Structure 1
Amino acid sequence: MTKYNVMILEDDLRASYMLESAIKQDEDFTVVSVSESYSEALLQYAIYQPQLIFIDMTLPDGHGLEFIQRMRKQGARCDFIITTADRDIETLTKAIRLGVSDYLVKPIRMSRVYQALKDYDLYKQQVSSNSTVDQKDIDLLLRKVEPKDTRKTPKGIDSTTLAKLKALIVEEQLIEFSSTDIGERMNVSRITARRYLEFLESEGVVKLVLNYNTGGRPKRLYRVT
């Protein structure tokens, strides 16, 4: 059963599609609305009342922080995860003051989205299951300590498939490749391949490189470290 309804406020269609695809991988979250502008999001929020909003900072008719401030003043009972290319410390500081749940810097890795969802779910479980908290609970909520997790791999990453991917890279002596290349070799979707490659990136096995010699949007490639 779905726990959380999610709205995406993002004017970059490619980034919006990636976010929606990643969120759909977690059965606890459902995307109920995708908006491309500040004004459209106001209308969509009134209709769907989502618990969580993924929000870009630069919008065609406003700024993401202004949207969050407006929602806070109206008493909106929702949380925010920022998605932005803005690495400015002032923007980050303002976002923290507004109590955002997470801050994802573009280009966003799908594995980082999964982690943000996991952290959010853990936080909501903690605040809903206790009327009072001790120092241990507070430290966990404020991420002063890592939650215990008995899984060897994170949610959405199957250890057998991961082992096959690692073996493929070694056996075929791959150096640089795309998620499409891996998907075709492993007979899985590009989205699935990308999820596993981003996990390997987080483990330091590969690193993301952007190929700008495409005549358009840069191509995401992964290189063995």
Structure 2
Amino acid sequence: MQPDLTHVLIVEDESRLAELHAELITKHPRLQLVGTAASLASAQEQIRSKRPHLILLDNYLPDGKGISLINHPLLKEFGCSVIFITAASDMQTCSQAIRNGAFDYILKPASWKRLSYSLERFVQFRDQQRVWKVVDQKNVDSLYQLQGKNFRPETGAKGIDDNTLQRVQRLFLENPEQRYSVEEVVEESGLSKTTTRRYLEHGVESGFLQVELLYGKIGHPRRLYRKADDAGSEPQHAH
């Protein structure tokens, strides 16, 4: 028997971010991307036609705020869950999302690991809901733990290739004052966006890189990377 696929709709008007989220979803064996919407109107249309299980929802959209969608009758009708991915850091938006049952609330710029972690927990959450037709207290506690479990960034270098790591680091060592976007590192290194993002986030976690946020269009800060001031002048190795 084939495991059930979780159908995901991305609601994000910034095409660069939508592409990154789509790439992450398509690589997961239990997730299936069913559509991408750049507005509330398009999102509502696709919820009706594609009936996703999960929506990755941005808050700042051209025709309104994503938070208005979270308690829309459509979501209840089709049983859609929501992971908020937004630059909205005000408590009112966050508490409204929680009150209306958002599975998770991730602040932009969202790290590749943080979103992967949330998606994996949601897959497990759906699996347990299907297996347990009747629950006892232990089952209920397990479901709540999956929804509320804290994210703890890994400190190891799992999946990090030493040669690739040094290729990325060399770019920053040769230009220590330069700030690079993900796209600029992709162009310089020839790596895919997902791979580049993973190595950049590893660089931040290891202390080799630091992140600066450049705010342009409201709700869409750019994540720029540069060599950390206290990082050494030689490439580091994956441990």
TM-score tier by shorter-chain length is 0.7 to 0.9
Is the contact made by 2:83 and 2:104 (CA closer than 8 Å) also made in structure 1?
yes
Cα deviation code 1:169-191 (max 9, x no counterpart): 67788246644676577653243
Is the contact made by 2:8 and 2:53 (CA closer than 8 Å) also made in structure 1?
yes
Q: Which moved more, 1:118-127 or 1:79-88?
A: 118-127
1:119 to 121, 124, 134: 121
Q: Distance in 1 between matches of 2:172 and 2:225?
A: 16
Report the count of equivalent residues: 214
Equivalence for 1:110: 112
Seen in structure 2, the aligned counterparts of structure 1 residues 11 and 167 have a Cα distance that, compared at 3 Å, is closer
Equivalence for 2:200: 197
Q: Distance in 2 between matches of 1:166 and 1:220?
A: 18
Seen in structure 2, the aligned counterparts of structure 1 residues 14 and 190 have a Cα distance that, compared at 3 Å, is closer
Equivalence for 1:54: 56
The residue type paired with residue 189 of structure 1 is S
Cα deviation code 1:27-86 (max 9, x no counterpart): 221211111221221111111101010111122223212211113674331110112111
SS in 1 for 2:77: coil
Give the drift of 1:220: 2.4
Q: TM-score, normalised by structure 1?
A: 0.76
Q: Distance in 2 between matches of 1:14 and 1:170?
A: 23
Q: Which moved more, 1:179-188 or 1:121-130?
A: 179-188
Q: What RMSD, in angstroms, separates the aligned Cα atoms of the two structures?
A: 3.4
Equivalence for 1:140: 145
The 5 Å alignment of 1:32-181 reads 32-71=34-73, 74-130=76-132, 131-133=134-136, 134=138, 137-138=142-143, 140-143=145-148, 158-159=159-160, 161=161, 163-168=162-167, 174=173, 175=176, 178=180, 179=182
With a CA cutoff of 8 Å and minimum separation of 6, indicate the structure with the bigger relative contact order.
2
Is the contact made by 1:2 and 1:27 (CA closer than 8 Å) also made in structure 2?
no
Q: Which runs of 5+ in 2 are unaligned?
A: 216-220, 232-239
Q: Which runs of 5+ in 1 are unaligned?
A: none
Cα deviation code 1:145-200 (max 9, x no counterpart): 789x9xx66xxx624x2x43455567788246644676577653243121222244
Seen in structure 2, the aligned counterparts of structure 1 residues 169 and 63 have a Cα distance that, compared at 3 Å, is closer
Q: TM-score, normalised by structure 2?
A: 0.72
Q: What is the percentage of aligned positions where both structures have the same residue?
A: 24
SS in 2 for 1:132: coil
Is the contact made by 1:79 and 1:101 (CA closer than 8 Å) also made in structure 2?
yes
Seen in structure 2, the aligned counterparts of structure 1 residues 219 and 92 have a Cα distance that, compared at 3 Å, is closer
Is the contact made by 2:112 and 2:198 (CA closer than 8 Å) also made in structure 1?
yes
